[in-house]
Amino acid sequence: MTKARSASWALIKVVVAFPAFFAVLFLLTAGSVNNLTAQDTQQQTKPAETQKVVTQEKTTSEKPVFTVVETMPTFPGGQEAMYKYMVENVKYPEEARKKGIQGTVFITYVVEIDGLVSNVKVLRGIGSGCDEEAVRVVSAMPKWSPGKQRGEAVRVQFNLPISFKLDSKDGKKEGEEK
C-alpha cells in the first residue's frame, strides 16, 4: 500500500513539476531571444577577429520595429516583382566568380513607415564580395508599401536569403547570357 501511494504521489509531482519548470524556462528565455540582434547572431557564428560586418544603416525613426503586423509591407508589384528585381540587379562579384564561391547570403532589413528600406545588414554571408553586393541591391530597392498595425504605418523587419549560384559548365551565373 505504501508503494502504491508513493508511486501515485511521484506521478502527481512529475505531472505538476514538468509543466511549471518548462513554463518558467520559456518565460526566462523568451525575453533574451527577442533581444538578439543581427550583429549578436553574427558574433555567435564567427570568431571576433575574423568578423567583418557589412551594413548600410539609414535609421529614420526611433519607433519600435515589428516582425509581424496586421498588414505586412509589400514590394511594388508583389513577390514576383521582387524576385524579378533581384535577378535583374544582382551582379555576381568577379572575385567570387574566379574563386567559384557559391552560397546564400542572409540579409536583414527594415521597411520604414515611409516605405524606404533601412538598417540593411548581413546575418550570414559567404564573402568574396557577395555580402557587399547583397547589401547594395537590398539598399537600392524601390519604396515599399509600408506595413500597418491597427491602421497606422509601422516599421517592419524582414530577413531575405539571396542565392549566388554559378553555372557548373563555365562559371557563369545561372540564367546569364555570355
Domain ranges of the chain: 1-35, 38-164
Mean pLDDT, residues 149-174 taken together:
83
pLDDT confidence bin for 25, thresholds 50/70/90? very low
* 136/34 Cα distance (integer angstroms): 27
Q: What is the mean pLDDT of the chain?
A: 76
Per-residue pLDDT tens over the stretch 45-88: 444 434 444 544 444 457 899 999 999 999 999 999 999 999 99
Mean pLDDT, residues 137-144 taken together:
96
Inter-residue contact 100 to 171 (CB < 8 Å): yes
Pairwise pLDDT comparison (117 vs 176), residue with the higher score: 117
Three-state DSSP at 110 gives: strand
Helix ranges (H only) for the chain are: 2-34, 38-45, 79-89, 94-99, 130-139
Q: 115 pLDDT exceeds 60? A: yes
Q: Which of 20-34, 52-66, 147-161 has the lowest mean pLDDT?
A: 20-34
Inter-residue contact 112 to 60 (CB < 8 Å): yes
Fold of 38-164: 3.30.1150
* 102/123 Cα distance (integer angstroms): 16
Mean pLDDT, residues 104-113 taken together:
96
pLDDT confidence bin for 167, thresholds 50/70/90? confident
* 120/17 Cα distance (integer angstroms): 44
pTM to 2 decimal places: 0.61
Mean pLDDT, residues 79-102 taken together:
94
Residue located via cell numbers 568577379: 94
Instruction: Rounding to the nearest 10 degrees, give the CA dihedral for residues 30, 36, 41, 47.
Output: -110
C-alpha neighbours within 13 Å on the C-beta side of residue 149: 12
